[in-house]
Amino acid sequence: MDIPNRIVAMVHDRVGEALASILSGGDRPFFIKPTDTLIAQLEDPKVTVPRVSAGFVGDIAVTSVSGVVSKLRSLSEGIQSGVAAGGAKLADAGELLTKVRNSLRGQLPFFPKLDGANAPGGVVEDLIGLLDNDPRDIGQAAEAFHGRVKEILQGLVRQGRADDDASVGRLRQILGNDVGTIMPLAAIANAMRRAKSAADVPHSIERGLLAYFFSSEGYQTLDGESVVAPVHLSDLKSVAAGILAAGPELAVKTITAAPVKQLKGLITTATAEQYLRDTIRVIVESTYDVVRGFRDTDGAKGRFGIVTTKLKERKETPPDQEAIVTKFITWFRGFSSMAESGAMRAVEMGTQGVSEFQTNPLIAAAAGAFAGTVARKLAQDSFLDVLSAELKIK
């Protein structure tokens, strides 16, 4: 049994459940409750950090799954070696997997833990389970795995849209057969199937990945950050100048001093971990933005653009307009980082002591990057919701 990939699959299923609920119009697990209106705080130059209560709904468990995983590892090794004849059984392994699954459900901060929950494995975990076959059946396992992947990814295809199907095929070519990138795509496809959204997700992801791999500016996030492939460093000039485009028709100066930290972020080593984290982020960001209408499309302003425009309209002079938009983007990024760090810490705490996560950074990257990026988007969604209500945007 591939225990580390099983655990990563459980994380993807757990986060995917929350994503499906949110994309279907359910409650968001990240809340923002200002003490006074966010608009008043944004307009007050004396307020530099938001006065809010914010965070995830529900308590996060503080226990690790390492103890259960150790038992599962011993049991799995015994079954594979044949030593466990008459002793350990596959049913015992299933029971331990359920315990690991329930522990992770309580550990990840996307919804309150359901007492007595005994949820079965999800789509991604079942997918990874297809690879847990006897080595003699590896060919059949691989065939079953790829067939199931193709079936799951049909959740991204809108009915009657052959071009969507072709785009999904190109995504498979771009991402290859790496389990680390297939898992988030499968989780998103399953969420989209349940949400029954009409958004053009496959082309959005495809454009995002092509920008990341082939554009010198990389993939541009909603708030103007650049997710740049390690081989592209040509945007150092614009970063050093302190100018980053943010939102529709905006060029906001977000750096006034030497941007040492941001430059360090661009000069990275081309490692598999970096590519994996970046790829997962682009997949999640591009999906969420198009489904939730964050970005401008076909000449129509998205939610982010509408909010920034409304904020600018409240000010008369260009310096004041720039100041309030800059502050808005700073807080937008702040809530994003706050949520991301919380989700990534939860994954770290939940897997603490699991040796495979300590020795294989790719496993940790796959689990943390997906949970963290989804959390980023949830926080952004909540922030835009609060401001939209205050600005009376329908």
Q: Between the CA of residue 190 and those of 23, 152, 352, 372, what are the distances in Å?
A: 11, 7, 28, 19
pLDDT, one tens digit for every residue, the chain (394 residues): 667 778 888 888 888 888 888 888 777 778 899 989 999 999 999 999 999 988 776 544 444 555 555 555 554 555 455 544 444 454 556 666 676 666 666 666 665 444 445 556 788 888 888 877 555 566 777 788 888 888 888 888 888 888 999 999 999 899 887 888 899 999 999 998 887 777 899 999 999 999 999 988 899 999 889 998 877 655 555 555 554 455 544 444 444 444 555 555 555 555 788 889 999 999 999 999 999 999 998 888 999 999 999 999 999 999 999 999 999 999 999 999 999 988 888 777 766 666 666 667 777 788 889 989 999 999 999 999 999 999 999 8
DSSP state string for 31-86: EEEESS-HHHHHH-TT--S--EEEEESSPPP---SHHHHHHHHHHHHHHHHTTTTT
- The one-character DSSP state at 258 is -
**Residues whose CB falls within 8 Å of the CB of residue 46, separated by 6 or more in sequence, listed in order:** none
- For β-strands 226-227 and 219-220, DSSP reports them as antiparallel
Q: Residue 359 has what pLDDT? A: 62
Q: Residue 229 has what pLDDT? A: 86
Q: Residue 260 has what pLDDT? A: 52
The pair of three-digit structure tokens given for residue 34, joined into one six-digit string: 């200002």
Quick one: 319 exposed, middle or buried, by C-beta within 10 A (0-12, 13-18, 19+)? exposed
Distance (Å, rounded) from C-alpha 164 to C-alpha 204? 10
**Residues whose CB falls within 8 Å of the CB of residue 384, separated by 6 or more in sequence, listed in order:** 294, 303, 304, 307
Partners of 244 in the β-ladder = 252
The pair of three-digit structure tokens given for residue 248, joined into one six-digit string: 């529709």
Instruction: Match 């200002």 to its residue by tokens.
Output: 34
